[in-house]
Protein backbone atom coordinates (compact mmCIF):
# COMPACT_ATOMS: atom_id res chain seq x y z
CA UNK A 1 0.00 0.00 0.00
CA UNK A 2 2.98 2.32 0.27
CA UNK A 3 2.83 3.03 -3.46
CA UNK A 4 -0.56 4.72 -3.14
CA UNK A 5 -2.51 1.91 -4.79
CA UNK A 6 -4.26 0.83 -1.61
CA UNK A 7 -7.75 -0.53 -1.51
CA UNK A 8 -10.80 0.16 0.62
CA UNK A 9 -12.54 -2.59 2.53
CA UNK A 10 -16.25 -2.21 3.07
CA UNK A 11 -18.01 -3.04 6.31
CA UNK A 12 -19.55 -6.13 4.70
CA UNK A 13 -16.19 -7.38 3.43
CA UNK A 14 -14.62 -6.78 6.85
CA UNK A 15 -17.35 -8.84 8.53
CA UNK A 16 -16.64 -11.77 6.19
CA UNK A 17 -12.87 -11.81 6.72
CA UNK A 18 -11.35 -14.37 9.08
CA UNK A 19 -9.65 -12.92 12.19
CA UNK A 20 -6.14 -13.75 10.90
CA UNK A 21 -6.71 -11.77 7.73
CA UNK A 22 -8.18 -8.84 9.69
CA UNK A 23 -5.08 -8.77 11.90
CA UNK A 24 -2.83 -8.85 8.86
CA UNK A 25 -4.70 -5.96 7.22
CA UNK A 26 -4.40 -3.90 10.41
CA UNK A 27 -0.69 -4.68 10.69
CA UNK A 28 -0.10 -3.83 7.03
CA UNK A 29 -1.99 -0.54 7.38
CA UNK A 30 0.01 0.47 10.46
CA UNK A 31 3.27 -0.35 8.67
CA UNK A 32 2.17 1.73 5.67
CA UNK A 33 1.33 4.69 7.92
CA UNK A 34 4.74 4.35 9.58
CA UNK A 35 6.55 4.45 6.21
CA UNK A 36 4.57 7.50 5.12
CA UNK A 37 5.23 9.36 8.38
CA UNK A 38 8.94 8.68 8.12
CA UNK A 39 8.91 10.11 4.59
CA UNK A 40 7.17 13.26 5.82
CA UNK A 41 9.57 13.63 8.74
CA UNK A 42 12.58 13.41 6.42
CA UNK A 43 11.48 16.47 4.46
CA UNK A 44 13.81 19.46 4.65
CA UNK A 45 13.07 22.19 7.18
CA UNK A 46 12.22 24.69 4.44
CA UNK A 47 9.40 22.43 3.20
CA UNK A 48 7.98 22.28 6.71
CA UNK A 49 8.22 26.07 7.04
CA UNK A 50 6.42 26.61 3.73
CA UNK A 51 3.69 24.16 4.76
CA UNK A 52 3.30 25.97 8.09
CA UNK A 53 3.15 29.38 6.43
CA UNK A 54 0.66 28.09 3.88
CA UNK A 55 -1.54 26.80 6.68
CA UNK A 56 -1.47 30.17 8.40
CA UNK A 57 -2.26 32.05 5.19
CA UNK A 58 -5.03 29.63 4.31
CA UNK A 59 -6.51 29.89 7.79
CA UNK A 60 -6.52 33.68 7.70
CA UNK A 61 -8.10 33.73 4.24
CA UNK A 62 -10.74 31.21 5.33
CA UNK A 63 -11.52 33.32 8.39
CA UNK A 64 -11.84 36.46 6.31
CA UNK A 65 -13.99 34.66 3.76
CA UNK A 66 -16.36 33.42 6.47
CA UNK A 67 -16.45 36.83 8.18
CA UNK A 68 -17.08 38.83 4.98
CA UNK A 69 -19.05 36.16 3.17
CA UNK A 70 -21.96 36.12 5.62
Domain that residue 48 falls in? 11-69
Q: So what's the pLDDT on residue 68? A: 80
Residue 4: inside a domain, yes or no?
A: no
Residue 57: inside a domain, yes or no?
A: yes
Domain total in the chain? 1
Residue 6: inside a domain, yes or no?
A: no
Residue 2: inside a domain, yes or no?
A: no
Q: What is the mean pLDDT of each run of 10 residues along the chain (70 residues)?
A: 65 92 93 92 89 95 83
Cα distance between residue 10 and residue 58, in whole Å: 34
Q: So what's the pLDDT on residue 3? A: 57
Q: 10 Å Cβ neighbour count for 46?
A: 8
Residue 3: inside a domain, yes or no?
A: no
Residue 18: inside a domain, yes or no?
A: yes
Amino acid sequence: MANGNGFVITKDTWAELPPEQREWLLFDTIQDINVRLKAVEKRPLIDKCFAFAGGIIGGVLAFLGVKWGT
